[in-house]
Amino acid sequence: MQPPAGSQVSRVPAQRTPQEDLAPAPALPVPVPPRRRMRTVLTVAGVMLTVLCLSGAVTAYILYDRASAPDRSAPDVAVVNYLRAFLIDRNDARADLFTCGKGSEGLAELRALRTDLESREKRFGTSFSTKWGGLAVQENGEQATVNVDLTISAFVDGISQSDRQSWQFSTRVEGDWRVCSAAKVG
């Protein structure tokens, strides 16, 4: 039915329901996923940090190993380090690092000297100091003889006393220089 002419209803355009068969409205373009730059940057930084830390740890280990390894590069160096460990520090474990094989029997005379010094320290209530001067080295291939004068001194009853003893050390190469025997000379 038509509305009467001149009515206001006729002036409003007719509204139609959308048809089902019309094409759908064009879809918005699919957004491109953002690049994963941050993830890539963090991955690369993490890998670099890991490599840096590992190389630092390896470097620290190598430097520590070199610094703490006993120096046995020459016969006189081995003898000095042995004397320091055995007579001054009285550290048998450290002294053994400078000796030939296990229990070097050729060092019994020097062990007797240290035992005597320890007993005198207890008896007189004092402490002995041991010093040495220049070392004379006679090298013969993989063996060497090192001569040294030991000066053993102490204060007993306020009086300084010292004894000078000449010693001869035999050394040989066992991977590096080692002290094999010691004998008092004269």
pTM of the full structure: 0.66
pLDDT digits (tens, 9 = 90+) for 78-107: 999 999 999 999 999 999 999 988 657 889
Report pLDDT for 38: 84
Report pLDDT for 14: 61
The beta-strand segments (E) located in the chain are 129-140, 143-156, 159-173, 177-185
pLDDT digits (tens, 9 = 90+) for 12-46: 566 666 666 666 667 777 777 777 788 888 899 99
- As beta bridge partners, residue 160 has 155
Taking only Cα atoms into account, the Rg of the chain, rounded to an integer number of angstroms, comes to 45
Question: How far, in Å, CA of 149 to CA of 62, rounded?
Answer: 36
Question: How far, in Å, CA of 111 to CA of 152, rounded?
Answer: 15
Q: Is pLDDT at 60 greater than 70 in this prediction?
A: yes
Question: How far, in Å, CA of 111 to CA of 115, rounded?
Answer: 6
Of 100, 121, 120, 70, nearest to 169 (Cα)?
100
If you average pLDDT over residues 109-125, what whole number do you get? 93
